[in-house]
Structure 1
Amino acid sequence: MHHRLLSFLTDFERSLAADDPAPDGGTWETSRMVNYHLGLARLDLQVRVGELPSSRGQVLVQGYQLADGTPCLKATLSWTGTERTTEHAIYAKPDVNWTSEARKIAAQWMAGAPAPQTEAPAETPEHLEAAV
């Protein structure tokens, strides 16, 4: 399963380069950290425009096996400037295309952080309103 960590990150990077080869007129710079023993990987994403790189976010990937022995990858996407994250699980099924899954997740990362969820105001029960 651990080979999926690096192949997923490679497919993710290729998708970024294909979809946006010159972000803001610069180039993508990435760095990877992998711990095969724990089944964890991290991809730091930066864009270099001129001399200074600018951080764009991270992708954290965890490879593990489900209780039935089926391999699974979980990718957590984060963006610089927000604490919002999204998680995506990819399950090994006979028809799963790992490269296609990496492209989909890269496209979601490129779309940016999800919008904040607005909570509806809590309704006050009628019996409490009468007491106030």
Structure 2
Amino acid sequence: MHQPLSMPGKVALGATTLFGLLYLIFGIAWLAAPAKIAAALGASLLEGAGLATQLGDSAAFFLCAGGFMLYGVFRRQSNYLMAGALLIGLVAPARVVAWQFHGAALTMEPIVIEVLTFIVVFLAARSVRSD
């Protein structure tokens, strides 16, 4: 049986649920409406084998991140929460590497969202672990 969580823990789990749903929707969108989600994320669609890779990898990434977060919330399992947090959180430094070494645009808004997601889900994982 789970112990009652502190108010910050409840808030972190609630926000994690919202993040998890958001990322699941992104994953479904990559499969159902790739042009729309690509445009929303500032990307363009590739062609041929590149498109298959782009859709497959992007859908899997978002579905796994969101799924891990939601499973971690509902089962109160910190390991799953951390898996979701790391999947999203590691995108931010990868964006900085892409900007610094490969001429990509420095996209601060997504970086802020990714770092915020990581922090919130990390806090949720800590609150569940201390449960």
When normalised by structure 1's length, the TM-score is 0.26
Q: Which has the higher contact order (CA 8 A, sep 6+)?
A: 2
Normalization by structure 2: what TM-score? 0.26
Specify the structure having the higher radius of gyration (Cα). Answer: 1
Flag the structure with higher helix content: 2
